[in-house]
């Protein structure tokens, strides 16, 4: 996981967050789990709740979900995420707003019975306290994000370890 501040101070602070997962499951199963955030609380310990606010079109584009995240730090994050691109088994892209604004993209690549997943999130810290403290606390933010993403990778790996079927 890489976190680079794009601007250390000023009115906006951006970070590029990059995570890599290697999931021991076929790409279709990984895709189904990632493309259905309502199921994330079943396997991702940091996701407290997911609520659909707007359904979007038949393919899910335009769908808006409110996701409540627990973090490794003593605060929770609530963001609204809008699906803006979906290329089955390859790419999911969404924009977030709320406590963290930005754009994230899940990239999936089949590797036999494994799936390589890369998540890239360009995020702007919205909260004034986060923006103000970003230069000092960037390592702590990086540590926090890395832990949340490791928990996601471990949870998804466990979740998909069962037989194929309705779960994914």
Domains in the chain: boundaries: 2-159
pLDDT class of 163 with cuts at 50, 70, 90: low
pLDDT class of 7 with cuts at 50, 70, 90: very low
Q: Which residues contact 157 (CB under 8 A, 6 or more apart)?
A: 23, 24, 25
Tell me the average pLDDT across 147-153.
97
* pLDDT tens-digit map of 49-63: 999 999 999 888 999
- Quick one: how far is CA 121 from the chain centroid? 8
Mean pLDDT taken over the chain: 88
* pLDDT tens-digit map of 22-76: 999 999 999 999 999 999 999 999 999 999 999 999 888 999 999 999 999 888 9
Count CA atoms within 13 Å of residue 106 on its CB side: 28
pLDDT at residue 27, rounded to an integer: 97
pLDDT at residue 159, rounded to an integer: 97
Using a cut of 0.95, tell me whether the model's pTM lies above it. Answer: no
pLDDT at residue 164, rounded to an integer: 57
Assess whether pLDDT exceeds 80 at residue 1. Answer: no
**Cα gap 24→21, rounded to integer Å:** 10
CATH 3.40.710.10 matches 2-159? no
pLDDT class of 11 with cuts at 50, 70, 90: low
Percent of the chain that is helix, strand, coil (3-state, to 5): 25, 45, 30
What size, in residues, is the chain? 168
- First and final C-alpha spacing in the chain: 26
Tell me the average pLDDT across 102-112.
96
- 95: DSSP letter: E
Buried b / exposed e over 88-122, threshold 16 CB at 10 Å, is eeeebbbbbeebbbbbbebebeeeeeebebebebe
């Amino acid at each position: 996981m890489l976190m680079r501040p794009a601007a250390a101070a000023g009115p906006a602070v951006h970070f590029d967050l990059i995570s890599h997962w290697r999931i021991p499951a076929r790409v279709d199963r990984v895709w189904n789990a990632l493309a259905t955030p309502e199921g994330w609380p079943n396997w991702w310990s940091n996701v407290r709740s997911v609520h659909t606010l707007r359904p979007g079109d038949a393919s899910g584009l335009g769908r808006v979900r409110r996701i409540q995240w627990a973090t490794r730090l003593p605060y929770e994050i609530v963001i609204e995420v809008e699906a803006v691109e979906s290329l089955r088994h390859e790419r999911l892209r969404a924009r977030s707003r709320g406590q963290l604004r930005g754009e994230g993209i899940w990239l999936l690549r089949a590797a036999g019975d494994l799936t390589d997943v890369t998540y890239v999130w360009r995020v702007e810290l919205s909260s004034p306290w986060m923006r103000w403290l970003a230069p000092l606390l960037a390592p702590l933010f990086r540590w926090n994000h890395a832990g949340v993403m490791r928990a996601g990778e471990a949870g998804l790996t466990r979740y998909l370890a069962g037989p194929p079927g309705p779960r994914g």
